[in-house]
Structure formats: C-alpha cells, structure tokens
Amino acid sequence: MGAEARGAGGCSKVYARSPTIGMSEPITDPEFLALLVHHGRLDVQQAEGLMDGIRAGGEPAALFAQALGLAETEVDELRRTRCGEQPEIPGYRLIERLGRGGTADVWAATDLRRKRRVALKVLRPDLAAQPAALRAFAAEAKLLCAHPHENLVACDGAARAGATVFMRLEAIEGRTLLEHLDEGEPFEEGEALRIVLEVARVLEHLERQGVVHRDVKPGNVMLARDGRVVLIDLGLAVADKGQSSAPGAAAGTVAYLSPEEASGAASGDSRSDIYSLGVTLFHLLVGRLPFEGSDDREVLAKQIFASLESKELQGRGLSPHVQYFVEKMMSKDADDRYQSWTELIADVRAQVEGRETLNLKAPSQRPSRLRRRRR
C-alpha cells in the first residue's frame, strides 16, 4: 500500500508494500523532539534546550511534560503514537504503515478478536474533525460495502475509536500497477489486456448500481500475488450516475482526466472513466503517460488539445487491435469512444480469447512474470 499524489486528495496505491514505519520500533528522544518540532509543538530552540537538559541527566518524561504543558501520561501517548502519526485503535495491533495519501494512511494490522490480518485505512487526524471529509470517508466505505465484487476490495465498514476514524479493508498481498510501472518495465500486451478487462468488469458492475468512479488510474488498481486484479479506491466515486461536478471542479488525477473533465465540464459520465482506463492501458503498454508536462496546467491543455501519438504504440510491435482499443478509448470526443462498458468488454474479451486460442503469451502466464519482478 503505497502513496501517490492525486488531483483531489485521497489515498491510493492502497495495499502494496512501500517504505514503512514499524510499530515495534521504540522512538528515541532525538526522534521524538524532531517530531514535536515538525508538528509545531516545539520550536527548534526549545527542542535544543530540552536535549541539553536530557544530556545533563534530566528525566525526559518530566522535561517533555513541562515544556509541552501536558501530563506525563499525555506525553507518553504522544510518544507512542509519534505525535498522532501512528494511531492506536482498540482491538487491532498495527504492524506497519503501507501507504500514505492526501486524506488517509493505510496500515497493515492484526484483528485481535478474529485473529486475522486486515488493512485499516485511517483518515488524517486534521481531517477527522471536518464534516465534509468525514462524510466523504463514510461514503466511500458505504459504497465498498454495498457493492461487493471479486475485483473490488472488500470492506467491513467505517468506525471511530476516540478521535481516530478508520475503515476496515481486506488485506491483499500484492502491488499496484503504478508500482510495477515505476520499475521501468511496460506490461506485455496480453497481460495489459487482461488487466483492463478485469477493471472494466468491476466498473461495469459499479455503473449498474449507479456508481461512476472518476479516478481510474494505475495507482488505484492492484495486482494480487494470486493473479487477482483489484480496484482498491472509491474515494472520488459518486453514487448517482446522473450527478455532475460543478464547472471547474473536476475530480480525479490530472494525467488521467478526460478532455471534458480537463476543461472543467466534468459530467460524471462513464465515458470519462473509459478515457481514463484508456490512458491507463497506454501507460501499461508504453511505460509512460501519453501526455506529460512541466505542471498540471500543461498536462490539462494537452488532454484537451493534443493528439495521441500513435507512433508510440506502433513502435512497440503491438497488435492493430490493441492500438485501436487505446485510440478509441482515448478519443477526444466522448461520442467517439466506447459508449458503454459492455461494448468495451465485448471487444477486449474477444481479443483476449483470440490470443489464448492462438497460444500467444496469455494472461495465465502472468504469475511467473510477477515472480521475476519481485527478485
């Protein structure tokens, strides 16, 4: 579960391993002082004075309590939780932080009552007191619980422990598509097609329930070690497919926004999600994004006006069918794209099944490829 910047804030790359904070590592006095300064509880001069006092033989707990104006028990809690960076949630033993996003962190944990591994998505402390952030967090948990699917991360609901707000998710062993891409190796055509087909299946399932995703991208899709493709984030999804965003308030990640969203006319239409999945397919095949720039404004302008460079696909020896899929999914005009997930799935499924019939490199070979990646 790693972290990835996203246009509207949120947590993605939710279940793949990333640099972690271990829960069993005791925090030293210098580390605690650095955290106190970082969180604005002390200034540098105060921290240096406290360190001098500790070196002179002072009792750290008493010195910290006096400097912070807290009881020693409160100082101990700050220390255990690393100034709130490591939540304490009754009934769970947090093991390590797996991902950090704009609104939430995700932790590997053990459910002490059920004796099983889980993932806990924890709303950032500064957002846990904001009604809008709380509503959005609860809405995501509700959507995940209400629409179970084999390609959608399972959720047991949201809860609160004191000031900590969290949702309980299934623990998935694996990594996100983005983490695989960050290794610098594009995906083989058959594998990329299978992934896109599985993502399209779950998005079709959600649309049938009136849900549009609005943030389809590699960082929100995970490859489990057993080969399962899992959509792991519904943070920007809307539960009414007729719902529109206000002009100029497009949701999502800039690099994957459709032209209509990039222009500020976001419509909550599944065809925008189809465009984003097309960008994802391009990224999987080529290893880079189709439109890049020095800042978000330049990328948005390219999404609206720049033509897709098909030579990027042609130069990789990809089949004409796959080139067609990318170009149709990424058509600038939404009316020229696939008009439904059902239509897209039928085309991609026929191509995947045709590859298997011809005994080409098939998606069934993917687990061995993942083993090579993990070396």
Binding residues for ATP, by number, are 121
Let me know: does 256 contact 279? Beta carbons within 8 Å: yes
- In the chain, the amino acid numbered 77 is E
Residues making up the annotated binding site are 121
* 109 CB neighbour count, 10 Å cutoff: 25
Report the SS3 class of residue 130: coil
- Percent of residues in the chain assigned helix, strand, coil, to nearest 5: 45, 15, 40
**Annotated catalytic, 347?**
no
**Which residue matches tokens 């002082």?**
33
Per annotation, catalytic residue among 105, 215, 269, 273 = 215
Tokens representing residue 213 in the block = 């995703």
Rounded to 5 degrees, what angle do the CA atoms 131, 132, 135 make? 85
**If DSSP codes are grouped into helix, strand and coil, which group holds residue 198?**
helix
Residue 236 per-residue DSSP state: T
Enter the tokens of residue 360. 């080409």
Planar angle of CA 178, 217, 167, nearest 5 degrees = 90
The alpha carbon dihedral of 144, 147, 153, 155 has a sign of: positive
In whole angstroms, give the CA distance from residue 343 to residue 144.
25
Structure tokens at 358: 């011809």
Active site residues: 215
